[in-house]
């Protein structure tokens, strides 16, 4: 039960990261055209980190935060897969996952405002009331996911 719960929490961490990545991708698309990105970013690592165009897109610290989060989540995924079943390491894995869920949940809550505005622009929502509702739902969903994880990981199990 613990192993499956921690794998579910790891999936939530990746979802929070993808929301952060989506923010970076939108920033790059504002600065560069799709053709320019396709021409410069050929490899998977270039697509993931936008290294060849990070200067033109003015990513700054977002570039380094993105790299740090990817390598941290890959290491956390490896720890979950290899050592997640080991009972003596469950406390360590629970602490690592909790730190990552809370940290990435904070980032996802902060970036949810921009992503909800982007979604509203794409589906032609123009009412400020509806945009505010989308922002509220997006931010609350990230907070609820973090709280549900904390409940199940630390109180229920």
User: What's the distance, CA 136 to chain centroid?
Assistant: 18
Least confident of 52-61, 68-77, 108-117: 108-117
Number of H helices, E strands in the chain: 7, 0
User: What's the distance, CA 80 to chain centroid?
Assistant: 18
Q: Tens of pLDDT along 34-44?
A: 898 888 888 88
Decide if pLDDT at 78 tops 80.
yes
Mean pLDDT computed over 105-119:
82
Mean pLDDT computed over 74-97:
90
3 state DSSP class of 32: coil
User: What is the radius of gyration, based on Cα positions, of the chain?
Assistant: 18
Report the C-alpha gap between 44 and 49 in whole angstroms. 9
What percentage of residues in the chain have a pLDDT greater than 70?
98
- Picking from 22, 30, 31, the residue whose alpha carbon sits closest to that of residue 115 is 22
Mean pLDDT computed over 119-136:
81
Output the pLDDT for position 144: 92
User: What's the distance, CA 45 to chain centroid?
Assistant: 17
Mean pLDDT computed over 132-150:
88
Decide if pLDDT at 157 tops 70.
no
- Which runs of consecutive H residues, i.e. helices, occur in 50-88? 54-57, 61-83
Decide if pLDDT at 32 tops 90.
no
Mean pLDDT computed over 60-79:
93
What is the maximal distance between C-alpha atoms in the chain?
Answer: 54
């Amino acid at each position: 039960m613990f192993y499956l719960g921690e794998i579910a929490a790891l999936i939530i961490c990746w979802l929070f990261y993808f929301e952060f990545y989506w923010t970076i991708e939108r920033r790059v698309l504002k600065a560069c055209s799709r053709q320019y990105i396709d021409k410069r970013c050929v490899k998977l690592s270039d697509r993931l980190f936008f290294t060849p165009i990070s200067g033109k897109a003015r990513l700054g610290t977002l570039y380094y935060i993105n790299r740090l989060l990817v390598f941290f989540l890959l290491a956390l995924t490896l720890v979950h897969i290899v050592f997640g079943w080991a009972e003596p390491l469950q406390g360590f894995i629970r602490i690592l996952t909790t730190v990552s869920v809370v940290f990435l949940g904070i980032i996802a809550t902060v970036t949810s405002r921009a992503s909800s505005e982007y979604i509203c622009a794409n589906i032609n929502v123009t009412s400020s009331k509806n945009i505010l509702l989308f922002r509220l739902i997006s931010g609350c969903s990230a907070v609820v996911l973090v709280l549900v994880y904390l409940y199940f990981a630390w109180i229920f199990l």
